[in-house]
Amino acid sequence: MQKIEYFSYMTQYYVHEKEVLEAAKAYQTIYDTVNKAGDDEAKSKLDPTGDLRKNAFRNFVFYLLISAYTNEKVDLLNIVEAMYPRELDNEELLARYVRKFLTFELMPLQEDQI
């Protein structure tokens, strides 16, 4: 619980300092902490409604997508695609953007063409 609270504060700090990639990594830590909580009782204690887990994953991918293009960003996008396929299946729009960012093509401006 303290770890999640700490990284929640860190995300606020990183967003304030405009360190978007660091904010994404902090959200990844929050998501992984909630996701890897041992039994169902521990998970329900950390995240009774499931919103924290879902929002942490969405924010992780969103902040990762809007961060500046670096090798670390590409590595993290590859990790997202390889390690979190079930979560990406639930978030169809984010999955399409992740796949587009990993290809070396120009992206169309219209959302319906993505």
For residue 43, how far is the Cα from the chain centroid?
19
> In whole angstroms, what is the distance from residue 41 CA to residue 105 CA?
45
Q: At what angle do helices 2-16 and 20-35 cross, to 10 degrees?
A: 160
Secondary structure of residue 1 in the 3-state scheme? coil
Please write the tens of the pLDDT for every residue from 46-87. Answer: 777 778 888 999 999 999 999 998 999 999 999 999 999 999
Query: What pLDDT, on a 0 to 100 scale, did the predictor assign at position 1?
Result: 76
List C-alpha distances in Å: 21 to 18, 31, 40, 83, 108: 9, 15, 31, 18, 24
Quote the pTM value.
0.85
Query: What pLDDT, on a 0 to 100 scale, did the predictor assign at position 27?
Result: 95
Q: Domain residue spans in the chain?
A: 2-113
